[in-house]
Structure 1
Amino acid sequence: MQRIAIVSEHASPLAPAGGVDSGGQNIYVANVARQLAARGYRVDVYTRLDSPSQPPVIDWGENVRVIHVPAGPARYLPKEELLPLMGAFGRFLEDCFEVAEEPYDLIHANFFMSAMASMPVARRFGIPLAVTFHALGRVRRRHQARADRFPDSRFAIEEEIVRRADCLIAECPQDRRDLIELYGADPARISMVPCGFDGEEMAPMDRREARRLVGWPDDAFYLLQLGRMVPRKGIDNVIRALARLRFHHHVDARLCVVGGNIARPTDQDVPELLRLREIAREEGVPDRVEFTGRRGRTQLRRYYCAADVFVSTPWYEPFGITPVEAMACATPVVGADTGGIRYSVADGETGFLVPPRDPDRLAEKLAVLARDPELARRMGQAGVRRANRLFTWREVGEELAEVFEVLIRRRPRLSGPRVPLSYDLPLARAAREAAETTKD
């Protein structure tokens, strides 16, 4: 039985989605691990120990273990503070690989820091390394500017990973283009495999029943925004569009925002919430915006199915799982024409694409759906077909397994010399710079 090590330094498959650093990558890692295990692989997921109550190893399911890596203090740290800890993370990987009774056949690193920690181990033991970045530093910096708290050394690390990894997994066509145009990636070493949804979790249900379950009235036009409570998700843009939809297009619309670290957030718990409430007051819709906080995965289907339209207009989005989940629930999607949303949402077929940060255009498209329920229904049904054709986790697992099998078969040719575990060249410089920046 072949063994795969999935490395995800900050995004544990055990963490509930919705927190500041807990979202799509956590869901991705969890489902990829399950799908690979279902195909006969033995999977170990390595993620950082961020709580003293976590056991070293958890048997998480048949053929899946979660291994907690002691790197830094056993408490939550923002991912922007983890870069100096990747040396310790990598040394722990080396120790585990050294004593393993059976060798690993492949490493799948998720995020640039996981790849940084995995690269020396992969080269020392001659193991193929596949990398899913989930977000690229140069793209993040372009959109977040000063709000991006990662050091510039991230760019050099990513360049070295792109140059040395055996395979780069792009999640959408834009991700592939960014790897080639911004990092000089070899197109022959890029495989495009998207994110997915769980068909057992997300499927259509009767809207009236869904609204009864979430406590919404039947007669209002409901928008749903679901995701992490961070500025780049563009929730402020949706609130402004809601105001225009009500006052300019005369639609009795309401907005429900699901997401956050806790079930009943306050302004003190979530700083972003205070800013969003103030925007709602400025726009004259404070009583038409509901912030529900985090909801469990089993509850999300009700919200997707209860909504008339799902809205997601982030500044940028490497992929974006929530639009796919909404499509799977037969809800039309109006999304930002950026990144993975541009790929998952078929403009004019399963919903509409609009520019980010343009509440007027967003309100116009929402008004079209509010005034034409039959069009909305057709788009919802088209979304179900598209989601089930292209974006199930089963399909994702099959595609990744095909990519990994090619890498494993080519292993003798890919294997590099056994070298000491060190962060040389750009990786060493970047790690030192990050440590110095943290001290300052």
Structure 2
Amino acid sequence: MFFQNQKCIALISVHGDPAAEIGKEEAGGQNVYIRQVGEALSRQGWQVDMYTRRADPDQPKIVQHTPTCRTIWISAGPKMFIPRDELFEYLPTFVQGFLKFQRQSGYPYRVVHTNYWLSSWVGMQLKKVLPVSQVHTYHSLGAVKYQSIPTVPLIASTRLDVEKMCLETAEQIVATSPQEKEHMRSLVSTKGNIDIIPCGTDVHHFGSVSREAARHTLGIDSDEKVILYVGRFDPRKGIETLVQAVAQSQVRQHQRVRLIIGGGSRPGESDGRERERIEGIVAELGLSDITHFPGRLNPKTDLPTYYAAADVSVVPSHYEPFGLVAVEAMACRTPVIASNVGGLQFTVRSEATGLLVPPKDEAAFAAAIDRILMNPTWQRVLGLAARQHVEASEPLSRQAHHRKLDTVEKASWPTYISQKFY
């Protein structure tokens, strides 16, 4: 039994499993964000339960990450992977599973932090029966996403209605960038409470490997120019734009270039089919000899090394609410070339920590790659400034945990939630 002042919080992410292997289908930045927020809250004295949908019959009911932070899988629909756009019909079952587990465990949640629009619907239902406050992070907005895709899914109208209702009724909305907040206000609703808390990363982990050590580990010569992509195989990630840009790049006429496309995929699944498509484009453009597909990069053992070994990290997404890859790369002193969209406009300081270019613009990406790779002195200056930028704005830094909060924008999420709801 728990004391009355026990700090308990439920993090809800119906489709983004915080315990998932990053790089699998629909497993990326949101999963990392939730896991790191949960573990940070547990270090501040919270009991953290992270709820997600069971997508595999072999998954255990619970996995314990720390003594006070765990992932709980709730059965809702078939115990298999289901694309996020097809999950809405199973949400009532998810709500019932949550309530059943909560009654059995006895944890008196005072806050539910919902992630993505599916979870926001769950949170709004829970508020009808539990004395909880809802904090919500969108991760992406339908009103923005549907502008960048050719075919709008059938669930679109439902999503837009749910996102508007959540913004207007949740006790607090967390935007990860000023751009995301502006989109909420201009495209969703003028009502609701929004605070900006940027995503962070572990600056001790990312940035712990030197360029020389990284290249030695990966067998990359010191004179090679390394262009790195990290992320899922998904058409919206813009990998084709990057490949076409490398083909157009002038630097290949003067330097040895290596293109690394890192990300997991499964044959026969959507990510596997996209990887095959990208491999076909690489072959057609005559880039097979310089392009490497290392597969899934383990965040703990591989990513810091690959980021450090690269001369530039490219994020060519058609849309990114924040862009965690960009933050991780900059923490490793690697400049970033990114699409001038969404939160990337806030994460990357163009001409200072990297370059921002129009999305889907192969020529612009090629020119940006040439500018950085053909000027190694500037490349190093950008990389050092990138590291300093991440350190200066790092919202999970120890300093943020102990100082009095003057502005929410510089607060860590765990510190903010502790002060606001406890």
Tell me if TM exceeds 0.5. yes
- Counterpart AA for 1:400: W
Contact 2:338/2:348 (8 A) holds in 1 = yes
2:281 is aligned to 279
The alpha carbon displacement at 1:320 in A equals: 1.0
Query: Would you tell me which structure has more helix in proportion to its own residues?
Result: 1
- Counterpart AA for 1:236: E
The alpha carbon displacement at 1:204 in A equals: 4.8
1:206 maps to 2:191:
no
Post-superposition CA distance 1:108-139 (Å, at most 9, x none): 00111111012121232221000001011111
Distance 1:147 1:211, change over 3 A: farther
1:288 maps to 2:293:
no
Distance 1:276 1:149, change over 3 A: farther
- Counterpart AA for 1:58: V
The alpha carbon displacement at 1:140 in A equals: 1.2
Distance 1:250 1:295 in 2: 29
1:255 maps to 2:264:
no
2:36 is aligned to 31
1:238 maps to 2:249:
no
Q: Which moves more between the two structures, 354-363 or 31-40?
A: 354-363
Post-superposition CA distance 1:269-308 (Å, at most 9, x none): 7101122122223333222221111121111111101111
Pairs within 5 Å for 1:166-245: 166-186=171-191, 189-245=193-249
Look up the SS of the partner of 1:260 in the other structure. Answer: coil
- Counterpart AA for 1:3: C
Pairs within 5 Å for 1:77-226: 77-146=82-151, 148=153, 150-186=155-191, 189-226=193-230
- Counterpart AA for 1:317: E
1:429 is aligned to none
- Counterpart AA for 1:120: Q
Distance 2:418 2:28 in 1: 28
The alpha carbon displacement at 1:406 in A equals: 5.3
Contact 2:352/2:385 (8 A) holds in 1 = yes
Given the alignment, which residue of 380, 383, 404 partners 1:380?
383
Contact 2:250/2:370 (8 A) holds in 1 = no
2:309 is aligned to 306
Post-superposition CA distance 1:133-163 (Å, at most 9, x none): 1011111111113165644321111111112
2:62 is aligned to 57
Contact 2:251/2:374 (8 A) holds in 1 = no
Post-superposition CA distance 1:178-235 (Å, at most 9, x none): 1111111436x00111212122421153323211212223222110000010011111
Given the alignment, which residue of 332, 338, 341 partners 1:338?
341
Contact 1:25/1:134 (8 A) holds in 2 = yes
Distance 1:30 1:279 in 2: 35
Distance 1:307 1:340 in 2: 23
The alpha carbon displacement at 1:26 in A equals: 0.5
Distance 1:149 1:29, change over 3 A: farther
Distance 1:247 1:216, change over 3 A: closer
Given the alignment, which residue of 391, 399, 408 partners 2:412?
399
Given the alignment, which residue of 348, 353, 363 partners 2:351?
348
Query: What residue ranges of structure 1 are gaps of 5+ in the alignment?
Result: 410-440
Distance 1:260 1:80 in 2: 21
Contact 1:239/1:289 (8 A) holds in 2 = no
Distance 1:70 1:211 in 2: 44
The alpha carbon displacement at 1:30 in A equals: 0.5
- Counterpart AA for 1:292: P
Q: Which moves more between the two structures, 306-315 or 206-215?
A: 206-215
Distance 1:269 1:180, change over 3 A: closer
Pairs within 5 Å for 1:62-73: 62-73=67-78
Distance 1:291 1:58 in 2: 31
Look up the SS of the partner of 1:142 in the other structure. Answer: coil
Contact 1:245/1:367 (8 A) holds in 2 = yes
- Counterpart AA for 1:280: V
Given the alignment, which residue of 74, 79, 83 partners 1:74?
79
Contact 2:395/2:413 (8 A) holds in 1 = no
- Counterpart AA for 2:286: G
- Counterpart AA for 1:275: R
Question: TM-score, normalised to structure 2's length?
Answer: 0.91
The alpha carbon displacement at 1:62 in A equals: 2.2
1:270 maps to 2:272:
yes
Question: TM-score, normalised to structure 1's length?
Answer: 0.87
Contact 2:23/2:296 (8 A) holds in 1 = yes
Look up the SS of the partner of 1:339 in the other structure. Answer: coil
Distance 2:279 2:155 in 1: 28
Look up the SS of the partner of 2:313 in the other structure. Answer: strand
Percentage identity across paired residues of the two chains? 31
Contact 2:251/2:370 (8 A) holds in 1 = no
Contact 1:246/1:252 (8 A) holds in 2 = no
Distance 1:14 1:194, change over 3 A: same
1:424 is aligned to none
Contact 1:354/1:362 (8 A) holds in 2 = yes
The alpha carbon displacement at 1:70 in A equals: 1.1
Pairs within 5 Å for 1:414-433: none
1:428 is aligned to none
Distance 2:356 2:36 in 1: 27
- Counterpart AA for 2:82: L
